[in-house]
Structure 1
Amino acid sequence: MGMKLLRLSKELVIYLFIAIVIALVVDWYRSKDMPTESAPPFAATLMNGEQVDVIAQSYESPVIVYFWATWCAACKFVSPTVDWISQYYPVVAVSGSSGPNERVSHFLAQKGYGFANINDLGGDLFRKWGISVTPTIAIIKDGQVETITTGITTPPGLLVRTWLNQ
């Protein structure tokens, strides 16, 4: 029984390692067209009418920029994490291809999300940032893109990325 458990543990570690490597390669591939050093200028109007300047804000504390869509299946898992972390760190979300402001506002209210959001109706911010996959999360600190990740992320994963970039 002990040998069987040891063999199973070794196989589990190997599979976990392979999964992590594959996830990192896929993440690298998806983010290769995105900014990697200086963040592009990012001043816009939030859906509530307030002006936001992510670059200026990033000199005070790390800013989490969350590119998402109302129709995105993976975003259904990531958005609650982003909403939770918005209580502790500044978050600027950018919804793309999600319809008019009223539809996005209704979606946010229905889900109870409180993060600041820009509805990128024309896809300008998505194009400027080279975003082709939702969800995508970037952490901006001192005007620099510290980290970019695509796909599903967990609360501990996002929190650790944010802590490491303080």
Structure 2
Amino acid sequence: MMKIRRRTLMLLALELLLVMAVVFGVNLWRTRESASGVAPDITAITLEGKMVNLGDYRGETLLVHFWASWCPVCGFVDNSVDAIAKDYPVITVALSSGSDAEIRQHLQEEELSFDVVNDADGEISQRWGVVGVPMSFIIDRQGEIRFRDVGYSSAPGLRLRLWIADNFDAQR
């Protein structure tokens, strides 16, 4: 009886590792053309009139999050990003989501308070190699992209990656 239970647990662990490897591999493949290494600069003005320069965040761990008002999956991630923005610096970039007024209206309707850069023409997104939205980049204290993810990301998953980037220096 104990042998069967042990074997079942071993098979379950092996299957879990296999699923994790497949998910990790698919994410690597999907983000293969997006920015890596030193994060491309973002110099822009948010909807609130605040100047954003990625260089100003040196020494801090940062989430750069690309989203769109027309993206149904983004709606599942937006509240997580909004909550994370209370604990970490966050720059969000709205890709091809209309005018500033339309984005403000969307934020109000969804009760979101994070800062937003309007990337109406997609220039910032193109520089970052955004292949779909939502797409998140975790930037470490040295300005290096440590993690990148396209599609749904859970709040615990984003927070874990931010914590890792914040506490484990990639240069060590």
Q: 1:151 to 1:6 in 2, by over 3 A?
A: farther
Q: Which residue of 2 is the match for residue 138 of structure 1? A: 137
CA distance in 1, matches of 2:165, 2:2: 42
Q: Which residue of 2 is the match for residue 62 of structure 1? A: 61
Q: CA deviation at 1:11?
A: 6.1
Which amino acid counterpart does residue 151 of structure 1 have in structure 2? Answer: G
CA distance in 1, matches of 2:73, 2:20: 18
Question: Percent of pairs identical after alignment?
Answer: 28
SS in 1 for 2:38: coil
Q: Which residue of 1 is the match for residue 30 of structure 2? A: 30
Q: CA deviation at 1:2?
A: 8.8
Normalised TM-score (structure 1): 0.88
Q: 1:75 to 1:15 in 2, by over 3 A?
A: farther
Which amino acid counterpart does residue 144 of structure 1 have in structure 2? Answer: E
CA offsets 1:4-47 (integer angstroms, 9 cap, x no match): 98787666545543432222122111211112111112111111
Please say which of residues 22-31 and 43-52 is displaced more in the overlay: 22-31
Alignment root-mean-square deviation, CA: 2.0
Q: Which runs of no fewer than 5 residues in structure 1 stay unpaired?
A: none
Residues matched between the structures, number:
165
Q: CA deviation at 1:145?
A: 1.1
Q: CA deviation at 1:149?
A: 1.3
Q: Which residue of 2 is the match for residue 149 of structure 1? A: 149
Normalised TM-score (structure 2): 0.85
Quick check: 1:68–1:75 contact (8 Å CA) kept in 2? yes
Q: Which residue of 2 is the match for residue 92 of structure 1? A: 91
Which amino acid counterpart does residue 69 of structure 1 have in structure 2? Answer: A
Which amino acid counterpart does residue 71 of structure 1 have in structure 2? Answer: W
Runs of 4+ residues over 6 Å off in structure 1: 1-8
Which amino acid counterpart does residue 127 of structure 2 have in structure 1? Answer: K
SS in 2 for 1:165: helix
CA distance in 1, matches of 2:65, 2:52: 14
Please say which of residues 113-122 and 25-34 is displaced more in the overlay: 25-34
CA offsets 1:49-75 (integer angstroms, 9 cap, x no match): 110112321x13111100111121221
SS in 2 for 1:25: helix
CA distance in 1, matches of 2:74, 2:5: 36
Q: Which runs of no fewer than 5 residues in structure 2 stay unpaired?
A: 167-172
